[in-house]
Amino acid sequence: MSPSTPASAPASCVLHPSARIGAGVAFGEFCVIGANVSLGDGCRIGHHVVIHADTVVGANVRIDDHASLGKLPMRAANSATTKEQELPPLTLGELCIVGTGVVLYRGAAIDGKVLMADLCTVRENVTVGRGTIVGRGVTIENFCTVGRYCKLESECYLCAYSTLEDRVFVAPGVVTSNDNFVGRTQERFKHFKGVTVKKGGRIGAGSVTLPGITIHEDGLVAAGSTVTRDVPARTIVVGGPARAWRAVPVEQLLENQGWVDA
Amino acid sequence: MSPSTPASAPASCVLHPSARIGAGVAFGEFCVIGANVSLGDGCRIGHHVVIHADTVVGANVRIDDHASLGKLPMRAANSATTKEQELPPLTLGELCIVGTGVVLYRGAAIDGKVLMADLCTVRENVTVGRGTIVGRGVTIENFCTVGRYCKLESECYLCAYSTLEDRVFVAPGVVTSNDNFVGRTQERFKHFKGVTVKKGGRIGAGSVTLPGITIHEDGLVAAGSTVTRDVPARTIVVGGPARAWRAVPVEQLLENQGWVDA
Amino acid sequence: MSPSTPASAPASCVLHPSARIGAGVAFGEFCVIGANVSLGDGCRIGHHVVIHADTVVGANVRIDDHASLGKLPMRAANSATTKEQELPPLTLGELCIVGTGVVLYRGAAIDGKVLMADLCTVRENVTVGRGTIVGRGVTIENFCTVGRYCKLESECYLCAYSTLEDRVFVAPGVVTSNDNFVGRTQERFKHFKGVTVKKGGRIGAGSVTLPGITIHEDGLVAAGSTVTRDVPARTIVVGGPARAWRAVPVEQLLENQGWVDA
């Protein structure tokens, strides 16, 4: 990375003198770049983008208008899962795309080639693997692990303490949950557990998963289902509550897609 | 509150001369503060924040990037519930937290210690009680009353003409509705009614409530349910359509939480 | 339209010299107006609004804070439906209202008197007919056709390759889908098909439609349903999977509303 070249930014931008700006970075108007931010070569930054202190952005990342990166968590006295802590800086790998109005928290670690579409949010203490797509309006709450080459389609909701392995597909409007006590008892804090989706598992549009559900390898939840028990590998479940229906068609199994990492 | 001290704001901010800025208020870059706005002592304002005319913000409120406060309603010829009217200014109590990209309307009255997470919206003619959490992406439509110490979790939707009493819990992705005529007939305008949730009532993740439903004290809707009739007190309902299943466990009753107002 | 009058904008705005600004246009602070943008007479632009190159905005359009218009699509290697292409400029007809934080893509064509509420998104290769309401947080994905005088209520999700004819009503939180193969097989690309709703069709709150469903004239999906087969004209379907329940009440039929185009 070349030394800071604030000369490349419009006069309307506010770049902290300690920010390290790579070669060929293009800025829109009215951007705010905080202390110790590092932007890799060739990044393209939109208008009104805010990048908070210490954020590390890899090379050739596109960040669209009104995105806010590296935000510090908001603490509320009666929030169940956000604790005081020292968070590491937000990191984004190379070739990521960050949509308009996206909010990324300090304490998230996002690998290369991740697409974060407009108005999505990634909270603190989250990792997102290479090549994953985080759809429009998606929420990834804190303490989640998302694997490589996953697709989280528009408006799905990944609750805190969830784990998605590689090549997981979450369809639009899916809602997950993590609290069997629905906000009551002290006991509940010991049991928070979101959804776990093993490699190649899929959740259909508008489905709801109860707390602590595991969807095993290549398991599939049909659209509109309510999942109250674990989903066996290579099995389609359907309904409310969801019941085993039939095997996943062979041609849909992950091993038969011929996909290679990119 | 001390007299206006625009000297404390960055040169990039546009503060109306009539705005009253409390002691120790910190501004980010490119903020726009309208006429007659009042900001209490110790507020922390992010970047690109807009506060429209007449808004009153209490002391020690945090407002994050790209939030827009005090917005005037948008009128459409064929909107069913927004009427021409004089709205009182937006008010926020002390110690509120306003997330990134939040939109708050003129005509909302928000009590102290309310957390409004990123990208939520609170419309006009709404009151929100002390200590309530309005989650990420939540919509509170117009003509709603929300009590104290409620939790409206991420992405839930509170339709117009809804009432939540104190300590109500609405899980992620809940959808409420208020129009039994589904957008048809002139008759419908007389009957709009959202959900009413009595003290300590709870609605599980991804559930849907039909228009005019009442959930009585400590009633609980299980996740993924469709609620077509009122929910009795201290009763769990489940399914589509939701049926009474069993009593709420004693240890989950509101009276057994030992919660005190903060 | 009068010649460009940048004098009418605050000094904080960045207007490209080639932008054509109509008579009486009012700008908020920190707006960015790109090359060859055309704004009709009497437009009212909020603060921090971005209008990208070539966008054509009709007369008397209101655009609220932090909206971003004319955005170029984001391409990802593993996205299924976004192809490289030349997109025509975004166009908005007269008297539209664009809410706070709205994102409109280059390649959308939006007719007059359309209300796009806060935080909604309209993607490329979409047309929206006159007088339609696009609610708060709504997503209209690419390759959709939306007719005149439709209502897409808050937080509903219209997937790619969907068609809504005139006077269609989509209630809050509706989720549609278009991929029967749930993200697997090459075969799926030939079969993507969203929802088709014929004139006057209605979808109730929180319902889910499977790929390729057609809802015929004046058909109605009850709230909370999962629609797995086509909905006959003038018929109410309900449940998961949705079954025919009864005829739509005569007084709710579109022909009995006395509505005229405005």
**Chain C interface with A: residues with Cβ < 8 Å:** 14, 30, 32, 48, 50, 66, 68, 71, 74-79, 101, 103, 119, 121, 137, 139, 141, 155, 157, 159, 173, 175-177, 179, 181-185, 187, 208, 210, 226, 240
User: Nearest CA to CA, how far is A224 from chain C (Å)?
Assistant: 6
CA-angle at A219, arms to A213 and A225, nearest 5°:
60
Report CA torsion sign: B260, B127, B119, B4.
negative
Give me the residue from C48, C172, C252 closest to B184, CB to CB: C252
- Go through C55-80 and write b for each residue having 16 or more CB atoms within 10 A of its CB, e for each that does not: bbbbbbbbbbbbbbbbbebbebeeee
Residue range A155-173: mean pLDDT, rounded: 98
Do A222 and C180 meet the contact criterion of CB atoms below 8 Å apart? no
Local structure of A251: helix, strand or coil: helix
DSSP assignment of C163-195 equals EE-TT-EE-TT-EE---TTTT--SGGGGT----
pLDDT for position A188: 87
User: Nearest CA to CA, how far is C97 from chain A (Å)?
Assistant: 19
Q: Which residue of C has its CA nearest to A249?
A: C181
**DSSP for residue A253:** S
Report CA torsion sign: C231, B213, C119, A104.
negative
Does the pLDDT at position C1 exceed 50? no
Q: Which residues of B touch A16 (CB under 8 A)?
A: none
pLDDT category of residue A119 using cuts at 50, 70 and 90: very high
pLDDT for position B1: 38
Do C128 and C113 meet the contact criterion of CB atoms below 8 Å apart? no
What CA–CA distance (Å, rounded) separates B204 from B213? 15
Does the pLDDT at position C78 exceed 70? no
* 0.90 surpassed by complex ipTM: yes
Name the amino acid, one letter, at B201: G
pLDDT for position C9: 83
Please tell me the least confidently modeled range out of A99-113, A200-214, B77-91, B134-148: B77-91
User: Nearest CA to CA, how far is B208 from chain C (Å)?
Assistant: 6
What pLDDT digit, counting tens, does each position of C209-243 carry? 999 999 999 999 999 999 999 999 999 999 999 99
What pLDDT digit, counting tens, does each position of B29-44 carry? 999 999 999 999 999 9
pLDDT for position C188: 87
What CA–CA distance (Å, rounded) separates A139 from A123? 8
Give me the residue from B32, B74, B177 closest to C117, CB to CB: B74
Q: Which residues of C touch A137 (CB under 8 A)?
A: 121, 137, 139
What CA–CA distance (Å, rounded) separates A129 from A167? 10
What pLDDT digit, counting tens, does each position of B220-246 carry? 999 999 999 999 999 999 999 999 999
CB contact under 8 A, A139 and B133: no
What CA–CA distance (Å, rounded) separates C13 from C29? 6
Does the pLDDT at position C113 exceed 80? yes
Q: Regarding beta strands C14-15 and C32-33, do their DSSP bridges make them parallel or antiparallel, or are they unpaired? A: parallel
User: Nearest CA to CA, how far is B188 from chain C (Å)?
Assistant: 10
Give me the residue from C29, C66, C97 closest to B68, CB to CB: C66
Q: Which residues of A touch C187 (CB under 8 A)?
A: 251
In this complex, the chains that touch C, judged by 3 or more CB pairs closer than 8 A, are: A, B
CB contact under 8 A, B137 and A141: no
CA distances in angstroms from B156 to A89, B34, B134, B164, B206, listed in the order given: 30, 31, 9, 13, 8
For residue C229, give both structure tokens.
């087969």
Residue range B120-128: mean pLDDT, rounded: 98
pLDDT for position B5: 47
